[in-house]
């Protein structure tokens, strides 16, 4: 079994909590799965000098609100726009059309190539629920994923703990990448997709485990004061869920998190869908996990592979960006509202993901002449 470790420091695109804030020339947050707050660097620095601590908290709250839209986009984008929102929806859908309506275009692009499927879990294979421990996928979705994995190498790439998401999915023969790709394990037995595979184990941040455990304990204790807040230890990262927290208390959540993290400069904060995540400051994310898995499957630097990555979260943007920059494969964003994204196509909800996966299986099962 191959065991890899990566220890490259990189805190880019994250908020520092040890007396400084990392900023780019354009915005505080990297473009991602939600609308993001763009703050000119000069103006931001002036605000930080005035009140660094409070500005940091306020900026987080603004970003949390911006990434928590409540408006759904219409399913029918061909109707005439009646408002600025309708115009925005139509424009966004023109740039990121439905992967279902563009299905034929996608399979045409796969001619002569091996499709490799990458799937996020929460919000993609399962609905977003108030209690993250109850994010179960349906039996129908499980059958759809099982069908896809029969014909294509398939990986589940999630911020969740690898063992936890594997218990949710309950399918052998898949590649499971937990903790945003910092904990990857492939099938221990040979598969038809990778006959030379002797088992893959990649853990990018083992030495951070004691620190993650310490931070988790501190966060659990602090979040007892915040109604609705939950803390989830995902082994190589910690998730603080605020989906059930009153918006008036979001500032308290941020204050507790940043206060604790000020003692751990080796860790960084990132934002997901109604979740704040604490990760090691290493150069590793879902995009790196995608590249690692393609290489492990023997598709590094190949032109005969078509990666398809489906995800709904800001953290999936790292993978979408890799595919766009390589001009290889497609990212598919799962969202009911327009978002800044590097994805090529879109789907509205898990039920559409299931339909897309089923159509892929049906297409693969068709006789060659029929296809």
Whether 346 and 326 share a structural domain:
yes
Task: Answer whether residue 2 is part of any domain.
Answer: no
Find the CATH number of the domain harbouring 273: 3.30.70.1020
pLDDT in tens, 268-323: 988 888 899 999 999 899 999 999 999 999 998 888 999 999 999 999 999 999 99
Three-class DSSP category at 324: helix
DSSP β-bridge partners for residue 230: 241
Checking if the pLDDT of 172 tops 70, the result is yes
Residue-number span of the structural domain to which 218 is assigned: 207-280
Task: Answer whether residue 99 is part of any domain.
Answer: no
Q: Would you say 361 and 115 are in contact if contact means Cβ atoms under 8 Å apart?
A: no
10 is catalytic: no
Task: Answer whether residue 87 is part of any domain.
Answer: no
| Start-to-end CA span in the chain (Å) | 39
Percent above pLDDT 70 for the chain? 75
Whether 232 and 296 share a structural domain:
no
Checking if the pLDDT of 60 tops 90, the result is no
Whether 183 and 297 share a structural domain:
yes
No. of H helices and E strands in the chain?
A: 11, 13
Task: Answer whether residue 80 is part of any domain.
Answer: no
User: In the structure, what pLDDT confidence band is assigned to residue 45 with cuts at 50, 70 and 90?
Assistant: very low
Find the CATH number of the domain harbouring 179: 3.40.50.1000
For the stretch 86-112, what's the b/e string if a residue is b when 16 or more beta carbons lie within 10 angstroms of its beta carbon? eeebbebbeebebbbebbeebbeebee
User: In the structure, what pLDDT confidence band is assigned to residue 62 with cuts at 50, 70 and 90?
Assistant: confident
Q: What number is the average pLDDT over the span 14-38? A: 34
Percent above pLDDT 90 for the chain? 61
Last residue of a domain, one of 216, 248, 280: 280
Give me the residue label for tokens 């989830």: 232
Instruction: Determine which of 26-35, 49-58, 65-74 has the lowest per-residue pLDDT on average.
Output: 26-35
* Nearest Cα to Cα of residue 284 among 14, 2, 21, 17: 14
Q: Exactly one of 10, 86, 89, 120 is catalytic; which is it?
A: 120
pLDDT in tens, 27-39: 333 333 333 333 3
DSSP β-bridge partners for residue 50: none
Whether 243 and 174 share a structural domain:
no
Whether 288 and 237 share a structural domain:
no
* Nearest Cα to Cα of residue 340 among 8, 23, 63, 42: 63
Whether 135 and 176 share a structural domain:
yes
Last residue of a domain, one of 280, 300, 335: 280
DSSP β-bridge partners for residue 155: 118, 175
Task: Answer whether residue 10 is part of any domain.
Answer: no
pTM for the model: 0.78
Whether 261 and 288 share a structural domain:
no
Mean predicted lDDT score pLDDT of the chain? 81
Task: Answer whether residue 220 is part of any domain.
Answer: yes
Whether 270 and 302 share a structural domain:
no
Whether 291 and 275 share a structural domain:
no
Q: What number is the average pLDDT over the span 334-345? A: 94
Whether 166 and 212 share a structural domain:
no
Tokens of 243: 């989906």
Task: Answer whether residue 70 is part of any domain.
Answer: no
Whether 274 and 315 share a structural domain:
no
Q: What number is the average pLDDT over the span 327-354? A: 96
User: In the structure, what pLDDT confidence band is assigned to residue 43 with cuts at 50, 70 and 90?
Assistant: very low
Task: Answer whether residue 35 is part of any domain.
Answer: no
Whether 218 and 151 share a structural domain:
no
Checking if the pLDDT of 237 tops 50, the result is yes
Last residue of a domain, one of 250, 280, 310: 280
Structural domains of the chain, count: 2
């Amino acid at each position: 079994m191959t065991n890899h470790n990566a220890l490259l420091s990189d805190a880019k695109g994250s908020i520092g909590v040890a007396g400084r804030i990392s900023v780019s020339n354009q915005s505080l947050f990297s473009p991602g799965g939600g609308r993001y707050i763009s703050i000119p660097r000069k103006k931001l620095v002036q605000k930080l000098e005035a009140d660094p601590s409070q500005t940091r908290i306020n900026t987080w709250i603004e970003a949390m609100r911006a990434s928590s839209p409540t408006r759904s986009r219409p399913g029918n984008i061909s109707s005439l726009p009646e408002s600025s929102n309708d115009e925005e929806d139509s424009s966004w859908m023109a740039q990121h059309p439905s992967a279902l309506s563009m299905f034929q275009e996608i399979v045409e692009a796969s001619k002569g190539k091996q499709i490799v499927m990458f799937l996020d879990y929460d919000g993609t294979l399962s609905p977003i629920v108030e209690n993250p421990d109850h994010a179960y996928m349906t039996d129908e979705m499980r059958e759809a994923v099982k069908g896809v994995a029969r014909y294509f190498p398939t990986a589940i790439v999630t911020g969740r703990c690898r063992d936890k998401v594997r218990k949710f999915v309950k399918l052998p023969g898949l590649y499971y990448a937990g903790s945003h790709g910092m904990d990857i394990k492939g099938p221990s037995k040979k598969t038809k997709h990778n006959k030379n595979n002797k088992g893959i184990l990649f853990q990018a941040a083992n030495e951070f485990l004691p620190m993650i455990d310490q931070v988790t304990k501190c966060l659990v204790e602090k979040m007892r004061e915040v109604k609705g807040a939950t803390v989830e230890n995902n082994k190589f990262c910690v998730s603080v869920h605020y989906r059930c927290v009153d918006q008036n208390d979001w500032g308290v959540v941020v204050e507790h998190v940043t206060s604790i993290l000020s003692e751990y400069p080796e860790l960084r904060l990132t934002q997901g869908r109604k979740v704040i995540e604490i990760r090691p400051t290493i150069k590793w994310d879902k995009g790196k996990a995608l590249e690692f898995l393609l290489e492990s499957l023997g598709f590094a630097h190949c032109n005969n592979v078509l990666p398809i990555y489906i995800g709904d979260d800001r953290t999936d943007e790292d993978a979408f960006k890799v595919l766009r920059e390589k001009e290889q494969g497609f990212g598919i964003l799962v969202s009911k509202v327009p978002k800044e994204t590097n994805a090529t196509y879109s789907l509205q909800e898990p039920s559409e993901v299931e339909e897309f996966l089923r159509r892929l299986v049906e297409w693969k099962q068709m006789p060659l002449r029929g296809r």
